[in-house]
Amino acid sequence: MSIRIGIFGYGNLGRGVENAIRQNPDMTLRAVFTRRDPSTLRIQTPTAEVCHVDQAPAMTDEIDVMILCGGSATDLPMQTPAMASLFNVVDSFDTHAKIPQHFANVDAAAKAAGKIAMISVGWDPGMFSLNRMYAGAILPDGKDYTFWGRGVSQGHSDAIRRIDGVLDAKQYTVPVPEALEAVRNGENPTLTTREKHTRECYVVAKEGADLARIENEIKTMPNYFADYDTTVHFVTKEELDRDHAGIPHGGTVIRCGKTGVGLQNSHIVEYRLKLDSNPEFTSSVLVAYARAAYRMHTEGQSGCKTVLDVPPAFLSPKSGEELRKELL
Amino acid sequence: MSIRIGIFGYGNLGRGVENAIRQNPDMTLRAVFTRRDPSTLRIQTPTAEVCHVDQAPAMTDEIDVMILCGGSATDLPMQTPAMASLFNVVDSFDTHAKIPQHFANVDAAAKAAGKIAMISVGWDPGMFSLNRMYAGAILPDGKDYTFWGRGVSQGHSDAIRRIDGVLDAKQYTVPVPEALEAVRNGENPTLTTREKHTRECYVVAKEGADLARIENEIKTMPNYFADYDTTVHFVTKEELDRDHAGIPHGGTVIRCGKTGVGLQNSHIVEYRLKLDSNPEFTSSVLVAYARAAYRMHTEGQSGCKTVLDVPPAFLSPKSGEELRKELL
């Protein structure tokens, strides 16, 4: 029997989930839920319905797992607890500092409803968290490093777009190669913010705008750019659309740990992602964890879970026997 | 309360486990079990006993998890089922083709005794298996690659030592940089055995031995060397002991997978290990999974498990709350 999936919100992430479902034969897209007028939305899956979000509560018998594809700032803090009282859910809540509060809210709702709610699924939080956990548990005497990029930061691109005189912009976060190399060599360096990443900006300015002022406003912007070495390239709208249309991202989690009688032996554990499409990879992780949410619910579990709580085999459509034979 | 560990077998792996336990304050080494005369064994932990293996059955109340540190060829197939009927156990059984049979034997014994038996723990099988699983579940349309090295292969070193005229030898397995690069670039190459790894041999010959014959015997040895580009360096015993005393190893698991409407986007997931000491890293993994075995048993579970079955959080001494706050 196929696992029936609902997609709640149809932006980049929702479209990515729709694609990922087609790559997983044990799953079916049942419906996409939108806040817009459903008749205006065109989706890729002819067998799925487009519904208004208000129809969701009437469809609890038709959907096994609802994948929440809204944003972390305002959508998910409301939507995840609300939906977890109706469905098994998976979200990609990624405001690290607010995870404990989000967990508590969602846990209460999911437990009361006897549902599984899997939060903060994706790559950071998500796969990166898992790798920090595994490496830290194996090598307790050690140090963790996380580098992001080369990839597009939506938040930083938006910050540039808000500057007066800017038409459009794209910002890449780039790890400093020398810092990465020092960590990989086991040197355990202490790195400042500036030493870890640089920021590359591609900016389309309005005709006649003061480019020097824009560049200065970017480079001195607190929190976003002031603590980094930032490069600003002014490009035409055509160049931006041609050369910077994608949403690539990625990064690296590295732990260097010591073992032995005198802690004389070093071990480097590195997990690296190089992603052509940040939202499509995140969507693929969400879909794998939707399978796990379904299995955990079938086993009688309930409450809020994160990637740290899920037995890895639950992510795969293969049986334990197949997994042991083919890839252990 | 501290988790009380027994070490069964005191070779490189057993000594590594002893060191790793000292790095984990929630664990105590209770006893080391040996087939030798216990009075001849000196261990590092003054508070632990040295016992003969025959004493183990009388100590079921004093040991929470027995870590089995024997070899996969002859020790573990007998020892793991036998010990799993008395204790929670963890082993590093690494004969990939025989895992299903070993699992079945151990599962029967552990279930009958109500114990947890964690098999095939280490890095391959182990952490590499986990990474093949995660990446494969997230990116179903893709291809896996595993490269080993640069590192010492004990089996290949032993094979050289059996050649007439050889006093001692060390063999390094080395991934071919061009192959690794092609995989990292997402080229999805089809690679033969020869194209993936080369083999580097450091050989101490007996005085007057026919070096050309030894080199030829190595390079043409079926299974071990014939399918590889092999380099043979003759060195003195002093050089071997000075430059090749360590047991480093490592390797890389890479999956390249596609997503998107037309599968136009590529994603590279890479997990890499660079280990100064192969047995000490394996020991560190065994100890983390001993903690998980203890927790699963405390929860009332029993039977044979692998790394694929263990919720990651069970490996850490930290609470779910701490983990969510600090590293999710």
pLDDT tens for each residue of A288-305: 999 999 999 999 999 999
**What would the mean pLDDT of A274-301 be, rounded to a whole number?**
98
Rounded Cα gap, residues B131 and B144, in angstroms: 10
pLDDT of res. B81: 98
Is B308 close to A320, i.e. CB distance below 8 A? yes
Measured in angstroms, the CA of A288 and the nearest CA of chain B are apart by 6
Q: Is the peptide bond before B150 cis (omega within 30 degrees of 0)?
A: yes
Report percent pLDDT > 90 for chain A. Answer: 99
Residue B175 at interface with chain A, using a CB cutoff of 8 Å: no
- The contacts found for A296-300 with CB under 8 angstroms, 24 or more apart, are A296/A116, A297/A64, A297/A88, A297/A115, A297/A116
Q: Which residues of chain B lie closer than 8 angstroms to A290, CB-CB?
A: none
Q: Per the structure block, which two tokens stand in for A171?
A: 């910002």
Side chain identity, residue A158: D
Categorize the per-residue pLDDT at A161 as very low, low, confident or very high, splitting at 50, 70 and 90.
Answer: very high
Instruction: Kindly state the average pLDDT of the residues B217-232.
Output: 96
- For the stretch B225-262, pLDDT in tens is 999 999 999 999 999 999 999 999 999 999 999 999 99
- Put simply, whether A86 touches B (Cβ < 8 Å) is no
- Nearest chain A residue to B121 by CA distance is A328
Rounded to whole angstroms, the Cα distance separating A41 from B287 reads 53
Nearest CA in chain A to B94: A328
Say yes or no: A82 contacts chain B, CB-CB below 8 A: no
Integer-rounded Cα Rg, in Å, for chain A is 22
User: Which of B20, B129, B257 is facing A259, going by the closest CB pair?
Assistant: B20
Is A273 in Cβ contact with B20 (below 8 Å)?
Answer: no
User: Is the CB of B328 less than 8 angstroms away from the CB of A306?
Assistant: yes
pLDDT average, residue stretch A9-26: 97
Question: How does the average pLDDT of chain B come out, rounded?
Answer: 97
Region B99-113: mean pLDDT is 98
Closest by Cα among B74, B224, B227 to B163: B224
- Contact (CB<8Å) B316/A137: yes
Question: Two tokens at A39?
Answer: 């008749």
CB-based contact (8 Å) between B154 and chain A?
A: no
DSSP readout, B179-235?
HHHHHHTT------HHHHEEEEEEEEEPTT--HHHHHHHHHT-TTTTTTSEEEEEE-
The separation between CA A210 and the C-alpha centre of its own chain, rounded to angstroms, equals: 36
How far is Cα B190 from Cα B263, in angstroms, rounded to an integer?
A: 20
What ipTM is given for this predicted complex?
A: 0.96
Contact B11/A at CB under 8 A: no
Mean pLDDT of B9-22: 97
Structure-block tokens of residue A131: 């790798």
Q: Is B79 helix (H, G, I), strand (E, B) or coil?
A: helix
The whole-angstrom distance between residue A233's C-alpha and the CA centroid of its chain comes to: 27
Could you give the C-alpha distances from A73 to A70, A97, A102, B295, in angstroms and in order? Answer: 9, 12, 12, 36
Which residues of chain A have a CB within 8 Å of the CB of B266?
Answer: 276
Is a pLDDT exceeding 90 seen at residue B39?
yes
In the prediction, which pLDDT does B92 show? 97
pLDDT at B23 over 90: yes
Tokens of A292: 């796990």
A276, B266: Cβ pair inside 8 Å?
A: yes
Q: How far is B183 from chain A (nearest CA, A)?
A: 12
Type of residue numbered B299: E
**What single letter denotes the amino acid at residue A42?**
R
Chain-chain contact of B323 with A133 (C-beta, under 8 angstroms) = yes
Is B16's Cβ below 8 Å from some Cβ in A?
yes
Q: Are the beta carbons of B99 and A328 separated by less than 8 Å?
A: yes
Those residues whose C-beta lies under 8 Å from the C-beta of residue B237, and which sit 6 or more positions away, are: B167, B168, B204
Confidence of residue B165 (pLDDT cuts 50, 70, 90): very high
Contact B134 A315 (CB under 8 A): yes
Of B308, B311, B317, the CB nearest to A328: B308
**Cis status of the peptide bond prior to A77, with omega within 30 of 0:** no
B328: nearest CB among A125, A144, A310: A125
Q: Give the model's pLDDT for residue A294.
A: 98
Across the interface, whether the CB atoms of B130 and A134 are under 8 A apart is answered yes
Task: Name which of B12, B59, B41, B89 is nearest B292 in CA terms.
Answer: B89
- Chain B residues lying within 8 Å of A136, measured CB to CB: 316, 327
- Chain A, chain B: beta-carbon pairs less than 8 Å apart: 213
Q: CB-CB: which of B267, B268, B280 is closest to A260?
A: B280
B314 touches chain A (CB under 8 A): no
**Chain A CB within 8 Å of residue B133 CB:** yes
Q: Give the pLDDT mean for A151-168.
A: 95
Is there a contact between B11 and B30 (Cβ–Cβ < 8 Å)? no
Q: Do B268 and A274 touch (CB under 8 A)?
A: yes
* B268–chain A Cβ distance below 8 A for any pair: yes
Contact between B270 and A265 using a beta-carbon 8 Å cutoff: no
Is the pLDDT score of B1 beyond 90? no
Which residue from A157, A233, A149, A156 is spatially nearest to A197, judged by alpha carbons?
A149
B103 neighbourhood in chain A, CB within 8 Å: 324
Structure tokens at B33: 């079990």
User: What does the mean pLDDT of chain A come to?
Assistant: 97
For residue A322, give both structure tokens: 């197949």
Task: Cis check for the bond before B4: say yes or no (omega within 30 of 0).
Answer: no
pLDDT band of A1, cuts 50, 70, 90 = confident
A181 CB burial (10 A radius; 0-12, 13-18, 19+): exposed
All residues of chain A having their beta carbon less than 8 Å from the beta carbon of residue B270 are 270-274
- Residue A96 touches chain B, beta carbons under 8 Å: yes
- Residue B35 carries which side chain, given as an amino acid letter? R
Contact between chains at A285 and B100 (C-beta distance less than 8 A): no
- Facing A267 at nearest CB: one of B261, B275, B325: B275
- Assign 3-state DSSP to chain A and report helix, strand, coil percentages, each to 5: 40, 30, 30
Per-residue model confidence (pLDDT) at position A47: 97
Q: Do B136 and A328 touch (CB under 8 A)?
A: no
Q: Does position B46 have pLDDT exceeding 90, yes or no?
A: yes
pLDDT digits (tens, 9 = 90+) for B122-164: 999 999 999 999 999 999 999 999 999 999 999 999 999 999 9
Q: Which residues of A touch B23 (CB under 8 A)?
A: 140-141, 259
Mean pLDDT of A208-228: 96
